[in-house]
Chains A and B, each alone.
Chain A
Amino acid sequence: GAGVSQSPSNKVTEKGKDVELRCDPISGHTALYWYRQSLGQGLEFLIYFQGNSAPDKSGLPSDRFSAERTGGSVSTLTIQRTQQEDSAVYLCASSPRAALTQFFGPGTRLTVL
């Protein structure tokens, strides 16, 4: 399809392991966003990319979280040394450029045991 895709759809990991979550935005969309949705905190902004650069990383909760985007397309969110409080649904969204309607992917449900 032509929507935002994310993989994996579900990820179960053990505390202390590293995980990588992938986002494929809609083709041609230059703006890409990562959010997470957890029961306790609701929806939270993590990081925003314009092209390959990340002008706003203000939402990353700790230095265990990092993200990159290559070729102005696919983005990877990496969580190092996962903790149980990292359990959440991680959502990716894209838009044709900044400040336009965002299109959300289905999310990756991360469970840290």
Chain B
Amino acid sequence: KNEVEQSPQNLTAQEGEFITINCSYSVGISALHWLQQHPGGGIVSLFMLSSGKKKHGRLIATINIQEKHSSLHITASHPRDSAVYICAVSGGGGADGLTFGKGTHLIIQP
């Protein structure tokens, strides 16, 4: 079974700061997903990637398959970015369902 570790668990930053959230996993995968969950809200998929780097607006996700590591970056952070960010992997051991990290609770203060 894949083990997915995220760090940090909690992060408080000031508006405008550059944010990095890290994720590592233990077994080879077919894809890694970054998800966002606002308080009391649903889960939204931000990225799905299996190699390299993807960018969407102020969000950037990278993955290093050899090191089994991914990072999610937020540039010019804003209070509306405050949410839980969850790393999840699929395809480890042949299963398609996602295995999740425990999430990073991000608070951006104005």
Partner of A42, one of B91, B97, B103: B103
Q: Give min CB distance, B56 to chain A, whole Å.
A: 12
Total interface residues on B, CB under 8 Å, equals 22
Q: Give min CB distance, A98 to chain B, whole Å.
A: 5
Residues of B within 8 A of A (CB): 30-31, 33, 35, 42-45, 48, 86, 88, 90-91, 95-103
Interface pair B103/A56, CB less than 8 Å apart: no
The residues in A between 57 and 105 inclusive whose CB is less than 8 angstroms from any CB of B are 58-59, 91, 93, 98-105
Q: Digit string of A47-60 for contact with B (CB within 8 Å is 1, else 0)?
A: 11000000110110
Known: A43-B86, A99-B91, A101-B48. A59 touches B43 (CB 8 A): no
Known: A99-B30, A99-B31, A100-B48. A45 touches B42 (CB 8 A): no
Could you jot down 12 A-B contacts, CB within 8 Å? A31-B96, A33-B98, A35-B97, A42-B103, A45-B97, A55-B96, A56-B96, A98-B96, A99-B31, A99-B96, A102-B33, A104-B44
Assembled-state Cα–Cα distance A46/B98 (Å):
9
Interface pair B90/A35, CB less than 8 Å apart: no
Total interface residues on A, CB under 8 Å, equals 26
In the bound complex, residues from chain A placing their C-beta under 8 Å from that of B31 are 99
Which residue in chain A gives the minimum CB-CB distance to B46? A101
Interface pair B97/A48, CB less than 8 Å apart: yes
Q: Give min CB distance, A59 to chain B, whole Å.
A: 6
